[in-house]
Amino acid sequence: MIAELGHFLLILAFCVAVLQSGLTIAGLRANDPAIFGFARAGALAQFGLILVSFGCLTWLFAVSDFSVLVVADNSHTDKPFLYKLTGVWGNHEGSMLLWCLILTAYTAVLAYAGKAVAPKLITLTFAVQSAITAAFTAFLLFTSNPFARLWPAPLNGNDLNPLLQDPGLASHPPMLYAGYVGFSITFSFAVAALIEGRVDARWARIVRPWALAAWTFLTIGIALGASWAYYELGWGGWWAWDPVENASLMPWLAGTAFIHSLRVMEKRDTLKAWTVLLALMSFSLSLVGTFLVRSGIITSVHAFAVDPERGVFILLILLVLIGGALFLFGLRAATLKPTGVFSPVSRESSLLINNIVFSVACAVVLFGTFYPLFVTTVSDETLTIGAPFYNAVFNPLMGALFVLVPISGLIAWKRGKLDRIWQTLWPALAASAAALVIAFWLADREKLAGALGTGLAVWVGVGVLLDLKSRIKLFEIDFSASMARARNLPLGIWGMIVAHLGLAVAIIAITGVSAWKHETRAFMAEGDSVALGGYVITLTEVNQAREANYIAEIGRFEASRNGEVVTDIMSESRFYPVRGMGTTEAGIVGRIQGDLYVTIGERVEGRGWPVHIYIYPLAIWLWIGSVILALGGLLSILDRGRRSLGRNPAKTPVTTAPEAAE
């Protein structure tokens, strides 16, 4: 009964979405003001319907109703209650329903937050947004009904894959989807503006908080995904250039370029075509990501059920949405005339370089993801593109771009002066050179990449702090006056500074984790010790444990340094009888200078337990850096100037605002 209710509500939501996009277009033609009111109500109705429908599916998982196919396939009565609930999106059907829920939730928020936006623009935006909802609810209803019944109902379910029973994974899809889907709003705004034929600084001001929100969620989502790979998969890595990981990276790259480009458009009314194109690209790449995961065109650890029929359906959606939007862009791009002019040495130029490099990086990832498939399709040859390719192409590209970070924050709009930048930034260059030499000399001389990464991180970090210092005139004027200036800096500027500091932290962490990691493997019996990277690690004891849905062997390790015990590490190997599957719960002790990462396997008679020990220098800073990055995004969203969403038309964006470089 509950399942049928959920199914019925989903059908209703589909009908409302179809009606809304159709009626809106008709209403705009007739220029009927009643349609504006309907658009808002329709947006709320879609959200309400899908919310209750999602509630129904959650209920079915909570009570373990195995007469419903997805519940029987993905749940089990012995599963902890929390993971029964997160199991709702641990499968194809449920996760697509979550996708639709988040999509309509964004539309509903827009119905409230977008009241100040010009009626025609917002109504068109709702129409595009509803078309997306219609397409994806149709996808659910016709190819992936989450409420399909199973008869006879089995006595118990097939359990959820134990690899997926992890807090990281439970929270990872909602965050990632909130990022992917968030770009739908900016996509819809871009299409609406192209239809209307008005793309200006005001438009950029309206769109910016949405782009930032999507970007922030996507940043958190990607970081959670990386931490899932690191903590749960136990293979000792956080990024594998797996196609599905790449699928989340591509919209992030496009989205990062997009938020920078929006800034230029908002302030200077230029780079319009770029900005609109990036708005379209961010969401298009999100959709391509969805296509990748759902169609089974690529086999991957993340892939859900492989089903070409679903792939065809999503491909059709892609063709209509992306193809339509890019066609419209082609028709209208010529009308996107910039009004601001700028010299080669200016913030506009530096942000244009940002756009170009991020787009090229995005193309590199796209190429790396699809080229191997392309080769296997057209010939019998095989090739793999893995970390070496990205290390050789992607990393230098990004590294070169990051050199510009502190400069672009300081350089003036329109026409900048290089000597002033030099005056502010030379200490950063000196610090960076010193850090590079020290890292080269101290850490590991063979690893030039490590030294370069350290130098880059110091350059970005110190440079950004110097930027802040010059903005608040620290040590140049009275300290309290500086603090007053700091308080008066717009939140958008704080957001930029914080995000760029987060970037510096992330660069140093990535450098540490990839260039300076140590590892060793050994068979250990109770009492055995292994030395690695200055630590002596002893296996003190191994105990058995029995939990509700798995049995485990827990190894207790002791790590000591210079004869003193520093920490205990617990590492588990678990066996889930229902699926007959084992998992590794790596024992990880996160310390400021690095992580100790220990995995233990199944005991071998006469030899002991196979133990794999890694030392990841600075690993914890990867997560801290990601949080700081996301915090920067959040601060920028909260910027007051942006919250007033053009409610104050007198505030024209083309004039120089107080935050322009002094």
305 vs 433 by CB, closer to other proteins: 305
Q: Which residue has the tokens 């520093």?
A: 566
200 vs 242 by CB, closer to other proteins: 242
3-class state of residue 571 by DSSP: strand
Nearest 5°: phi and psi at 280? -70, -40
Query: How far apart are alpha carbons 596 and 647 in whole angstroms?
Result: 53
CB of 308 to other proteins, least distance (A): 5
CB of 63 to other proteins, least distance (A): 24
556 vs 579 by CB, closer to other proteins: 579
CB of 373 to other proteins, least distance (A): 6
Q: Which of 486, 482, 440, 434 is nearest to 462 (CA)?
A: 434
Q: Which of 178, 182, 80 is nearest to 129 (CA)?
A: 182
Q: DSSP class of residue 68?
A: B
249 vs 630 by CB, closer to other proteins: 249
60 vs 281 by CB, closer to other proteins: 281
478 vs 519 by CB, closer to other proteins: 519
CB of 402 to other proteins, least distance (A): 26
553 vs 639 by CB, closer to other proteins: 553
CB of 330 to other proteins, least distance (A): 4
CB of 246 to other proteins, least distance (A): 14
Nearest 5°: phi and psi at 473? 50, 40
Number of H helices, E strands in the chain: 21, 9
* Type of residue at 617: P
What's 237-287 look like in SS3?
CCCCCCHHHHHHHHHHHHHHHHHHHHHHHHHHCCCHHHHHHHHHHHHHHHH
CB of 218 to other proteins, least distance (A): 21
Q: Give the list of residues 6+ apart from residue 515 with CB closer than 8 angstroms, or none.
A: 443, 444, 447, 449, 450, 453
CB of 586 to other proteins, least distance (A): 11
Exposed e or buried b for every residue in 539-553, given b needs 16+ CB within 10 A? beebeeeeeebbebb
Q: DSSP class of residue 346?
A: S
Q: Which residues bind other proteins (CB under 8 A)?
A: 158, 161, 163, 233, 235, 240, 242, 273, 277, 280-281, 284, 288, 291, 295-301, 305-306, 308, 311-312, 315, 318-319, 322-323, 326-327, 329-330, 333-334, 370, 373-374, 376-377, 380, 382, 384, 521, 573, 579-582, 584, 599-602, 604, 610, 612
CB of 537 to other proteins, least distance (A): 16
Q: Give the list of residues 6+ apart from residue 652 with CB closer than 8 angstroms, or none.
A: 201
CB of 462 to other proteins, least distance (A): 38
DSSP H or E stretch at residue 523: strand 518-524
Confirm if 597 and 578 have CB atoms less than 8 A apart: no
Give CA 149 to chain center in angstroms. Answer: 34
33 vs 323 by CB, closer to other proteins: 323
445 vs 607 by CB, closer to other proteins: 607
* DSSP string computed for 436-461: HHHHHHHT-TT-HHHHHHHHHHHHHH
CB of 319 to other proteins, least distance (A): 6
241 vs 342 by CB, closer to other proteins: 241
CB of 604 to other proteins, least distance (A): 6
Q: What is the dihedral of CA 333, 338, 344, 346, to 10 degrees?
A: -120
Q: Give the list of residues 6+ apart from residue 266 with CB closer than 8 angstroms, or none.
A: 201, 204, 205, 208, 653
382 by Cβ neighbours in 10 Å (0-12 / 13-18 / 19+) ranks as: exposed
173 vs 372 by CB, closer to other proteins: 372
520 by Cβ neighbours in 10 Å (0-12 / 13-18 / 19+) ranks as: middle
93 vs 467 by CB, closer to other proteins: 93
Radius of gyration of the chain (CA): 27
